[in-house]
A and B are shown apart, each in its own frame.
Chain A
Amino acid sequence: MNDMTLVERDVETRKTKISATDVQVYYGETHAIKDVNVEIEEKTVTAFIGPSGCGKSTFLRCLNRMNDTIDVCRVQGKILLDGENIYDKRVDPVQLRAKVGMVFQKPNPFPKSIYDNVAYGPRIHGLARDKADLDDIVEKSLRRGAIWNEVKDRLDAPGTGLSGGQQQRLCIARAVATEPEVLLMDEPCSALDPIATAQVEELIDELRQSYSVVIVTHSMQQAARVSQKTAFFHLGNLVEFGETGQIFTNPRDPRTESYITGRIG
């Protein structure tokens, strides 16, 4: 828990990147998220923890409107990104998702070459001026994804041919390539072995230098290792939100304590 104490020092000065007020999510008849208020700061790793089905992934998907792709899902309340309500009618989710990138639970490389996987985002958003610029972006992203050295000789090989951990780092590189301001990660390590998990966690810590990272995780150890802020969800409610150190060492809510000590979840 060394790094946890390390990061505690410089958390106070951050600006708010995303601020959610009274967010409700309904899946058809089910009320999946109830009255969630949370403020996510920039250049911070925020972890969402909680038992399965508590709504942490659902809430994460609200932050870049991925829930729009599910027909029965309705979102109420306000989520401000840099002060702008992302659920405003005028907001195009496409433009939003360029700013708020996402990495998924299961590595999902496209059935294309490694190069094309990473170049996909910059291409659709028109971020590269020319081929050389694109090559540059791809290399930079793969380096940031900490996978450049492993794949630099086979950029034309299909992304699906990589190992699970490599695939996930490729997906992170792919998300980074569009230069988002916020990176959402939905249990990015749940399909990975411990070594790959360690590599990804290291990567998350580096990404914190330039992005605001929100990570949903099942593992409390992981939350403690990588995050500065932690939010605990239970049955669709945000039970407690605060400094990671405080949540893990001195939870205010008895439910948080029960979860952390392993009595629920």
Chain B
Amino acid sequence: MPTIWLVVSLFVLSAIGYFVGRNRALQSAGGDTRDLHSLPIYYGMNVALTALIPALSVLVIWVLAQPMIIDTQVSRTIPAELIPESSTRGLVMSDVRRVAEGLDLAVSLGGMTEADSQAINAETTDVRARLGEYGVALGSDVRPEVLKAAQTYRNLTATASLAMNLVVAVLAIGGLAFAYSKTHKDFRARNVVERGVLALLIFAASLAILTTVGIVFSMLFETLNFFSLHDWKDFFLGTTWAPNFRGDSELSILPLLWGTLYISFIALLVAVPVGLFAAVYLSEYASGATRAFAKPLLEILAGIPTIVYGLFALLTVGPMLVRVFGRGDNGLLGVEWMAGATSVLTAGIVMGIMLIPFVSSLSDDIINAVPQSMRDGSLGLGATKSETVRQVVLPAALPGIVGAVLLAASRAIGETMIVVMGAGAIAKFSLNPLESMTTITTRIVSQLTGDTDFASPETLVAFALGLTLFVLTLGLNVLALLIVRKYREQYE
């Protein structure tokens, strides 16, 4: 990866810059650091950063932008009439890229000279077989226009990479030279460096926004692609989830949403009473020692990775439920209600266990925020502790607890591994908790793992599901945080 070497040389250059800058500053002051405006390290840093930062930023932007620009350029060379009926421009472009990568590989393995790769002609050579020799598997024969586009793609990429290396090198060396020439004992190196560092800090802080923008846009674009291939009415209003990789799928979110909500509901049914009672006991009744012992232990449950819960659901809870509710006469209840280990109940129970500490520690905080004077007032009237908790503390803490439950619900909706392993894969509307059902997250995983084709609605639907999930959880979180914040303000 030559880009990595470029980055490494940038850092080496910048390190060199540090030492020459520092030395020059010292020299200009005749070796007496007291004559310098700033400490010597700032002169070194100034040169190092001026050499590094502009070059590195251009490099990053270039690397990000290059594929997009080249894609549009190459895509323009393929005439619309040459795109097959059954295919789309996106599909053809992914073929082009695959061929181009194949040619790259063939050249790097020494099986082809660069000239060969340019001269290769789809009409006379079987490109597919030729590339197959180097382990490049192509789905279909390479059509001439694809090969031509691939070659253009490779040429453009090569030119662009060369240009990028040049520009970056010029920037780095130029930056170094410029900063070096400015280095003098009266130069305000510290102020310049501090401004630079502040800019870096701001950039780091704005990465959070970039991430959100990245999440929204990456999903939004693919979702729009999906809606151009698939009717949005079916997605939002249909009733069937039946992906079919030969096309003509019915892709509706509603059955998945039902499964998601049903499982989350059962999880909350487990987690909220247990978590809430645990929180009440820990904050109102437990002695200091009990609290110091039980609270961290309960919180361990929150630190266990979800894969562990997933395995627990699949291999322990599921089979146990089958032993109770299934197996006909051999089962504990002698009923045949449950066919397999995966079910809404399996996933719901295990997810509930996972959420217990989540609910309990949030509620604990919230119950502790209820002022002691409120409890005193009630106890002073002769109420028992439980009357105080039920009739004064909990009603006072109610908004906060609602917020906590909403946060837990958002966690449950977005949880993936437990439902992937414990819930099953059948999308349906059913009220029977002993049946397998599937969820939004499960479907995202199954549509995006394995061989994915980013031009088919069956793959792209995952992005629409992801976006819906994102909006759903975000909405719940914002609502919950608003409620909790408002609640906190009330007692501050």
A binding-site residues for B, Cβ under 8 Å = 64, 66, 69, 71, 94-98, 101-104, 106, 108-112, 120-121, 124-125, 171, 174-175, 178, 184
Please give, as numbers and ranges, the residues of chain A lying within 8 Å of B392 by CB-CB distance.
110-111
Please give, as numbers and ranges, the residues of chain B lying within 8 Å of A109 by CB-CB distance.
377
Q: How far is the CB of B95 from chain A (nearest CB, A)?
A: 66
Q: CB distance A171 to B377 under 8 Å? A: yes
Please give, as numbers and ranges, the residues of chain B lying within 8 Å of A102 by CB-CB distance.
376, 380-381
Stretch from B4-12, B134-142, B382-390 contacting the other chain:
B382-390
Q: CB distance B381 to A175 under 8 Å? A: yes
If over half of B's interface residues share one DSSP class (helix, strand or loop), that class is named, otherwise mixed; here it is helix
Q: CB distance A98 to B395 under 8 Å? A: no
CB nearest neighbor in A for B287: A71
Having A66-B380, A125-B382, one finds 11 other A-B pairs with CB under 8 Å, namely A66-B379, A97-B381, A101-B380, A101-B381, A106-B373, A108-B373, A110-B377, A111-B395, A121-B381, A121-B382, A124-B383
Q: CB distance B381 to A104 under 8 Å? A: no
CB nearest neighbor in A for B385: A69
Bits for B144-171, please: 1 = Cβ < 8 Å to A, else 0: 0000000000000000000000000000
- Which chain B residues in 360-381 approach chain A with CB under 8 Å? 371, 373-381
Q: CB distance B378 to A104 under 8 Å? A: no
Task: Known contacts A71-B287, A71-B288, A120-B391; decide if A110 and B374 are in contact (CB<8 Å).
Answer: yes
Between A and B, 13 residue pairs with Cβ closer than 8 Å are: A64-B380, A71-B288, A94-B383, A98-B381, A101-B382, A103-B380, A106-B373, A108-B371, A110-B374, A110-B391, A110-B396, A121-B383, A124-B383
Q: How far is the CB of A45 from chain B (nearest CB, A)?
A: 19
Whole-angstrom CA separation of A174 from B374 in the bound complex:
13
Whole-angstrom CA separation of A112 from B371 in the bound complex:
15
Partner of B378, one of A110, A125, A184: A110
Please give, as numbers and ranges, the residues of chain B lying within 8 Å of A175 by CB-CB distance.
380-381
Q: CB distance B376 to A108 under 8 Å? A: yes
B binding-site residues for A, Cβ under 8 Å = 287-288, 371, 373-384, 387, 391-392, 395-396
Partner of B381, one of A69, A95, A106, A178: A178
CB nearest neighbor in B for A112: B395
Q: CB distance A97 to B371 under 8 Å? A: no
Whole-angstrom CA separation of A104 from B373 in the bound complex:
8
Please give, as numbers and ranges, the residues of chain B lying within 8 Å of A108 by CB-CB distance.
371, 373-374, 376-377
Whole-angstrom CA separation of A248 from B89 in the bound complex:
100
CB nearest neighbor in A for B380: A102
Whole-angstrom CA separation of A94 from B388 in the bound complex:
11
Please give, as numbers and ranges, the residues of chain A lying within 8 Å of B379 by CB-CB distance.
66, 69, 97
Whole-angstrom CA separation of A95 from B381 in the bound complex:
10
Whole-angstrom CA separation of A103 from B377 in the bound complex:
7
Q: How far is the CB of A174 from chain B (nearest CB, A)?
A: 7
**Most chain A CB within a 10 A radius of its CB, from B379, B380, B383, B392:** B380
Q: How far is the CB of A223 from chain B (nearest CB, A)?
A: 22
8 pairs of A and B residues whose beta carbons are closest in the complex: A102-B380, A97-B382, A98-B382, A108-B373, A108-B377, A121-B381, A111-B396, A124-B383
Please give, as numbers and ranges, the residues of chain B lying within 8 Å of A174 by CB-CB distance.
377, 381
Q: CB distance B376 to A104 under 8 Å? A: yes
Whole-angstrom CA separation of A69 from B379 in the bound complex:
9
Task: Known contacts A108-B373, A124-B387; decide if A96 and B382 are in contact (CB<8 Å).
Answer: yes
**Most chain B CB within a 10 A radius of its CB, from A69, A71, A101, A112:** A69
Whole-angstrom CA separation of A2 from B375 in the bound complex:
39
Please give, as numbers and ranges, the residues of chain A lying within 8 Å of B376 by CB-CB distance.
66, 69, 102, 104, 108
Please give, as numbers and ranges, the residues of chain A lying within 8 Å of B287 by CB-CB distance.
71
Q: How far is the CB of B286 from chain A (nearest CB, A)?
A: 11
Please give, as numbers and ranges, the residues of chain A lying within 8 Å of B383 by CB-CB distance.
94, 120-121, 124
Q: How far is the CB of A171 from chain B (nearest CB, A)?
A: 7
Please give, as numbers and ranges, the residues of chain A lying within 8 Å of B288 by CB-CB distance.
71
Whole-angstrom CA separation of A64 from B379 in the bound complex:
10
Q: CB distance B378 to A94 under 8 Å? A: no
Q: CB distance A97 to B380 under 8 Å? A: yes
Whole-angstrom CA separation of A112 from B393 in the bound complex:
11
Whole-angstrom CA separation of A97 from B380 in the bound complex:
6
CB nearest neighbor in B for A99: B382
Task: Known contacts A71-B288, A104-B373, A111-B395; decide if A120 and B382 are in contact (CB<8 Å).
Answer: no
Q: How far is the CB of B490 from chain A (nearest CB, A)?
A: 9
Please give, as numbers and ranges, the residues of chain B lying within 8 Å of A101 by CB-CB distance.
380-382
Please give, as numbers and ranges, the residues of chain A lying within 8 Å of B373 by CB-CB distance.
104, 106, 108
CB nearest neighbor in A for B392: A110
Q: CB distance B395 to A120 under 8 Å? A: no
Whole-angstrom CA separation of A161 from B377 in the bound complex:
17
Whole-angstrom CA separation of A171 from B376 in the bound complex:
12
Q: CB distance A104 to B395 under 8 Å? A: no
Whole-angstrom CA separation of A138 from B373 in the bound complex:
22
Please give, as numbers and ranges, the residues of chain A lying within 8 Å of B377 by CB-CB distance.
104, 108-110, 171, 174
Whole-angstrom CA separation of A106 from B371 in the bound complex:
11
CB nearest neighbor in B for A109: B377
Please give, as numbers and ranges, the residues of chain B lying within 8 Å of A71 by CB-CB distance.
287-288
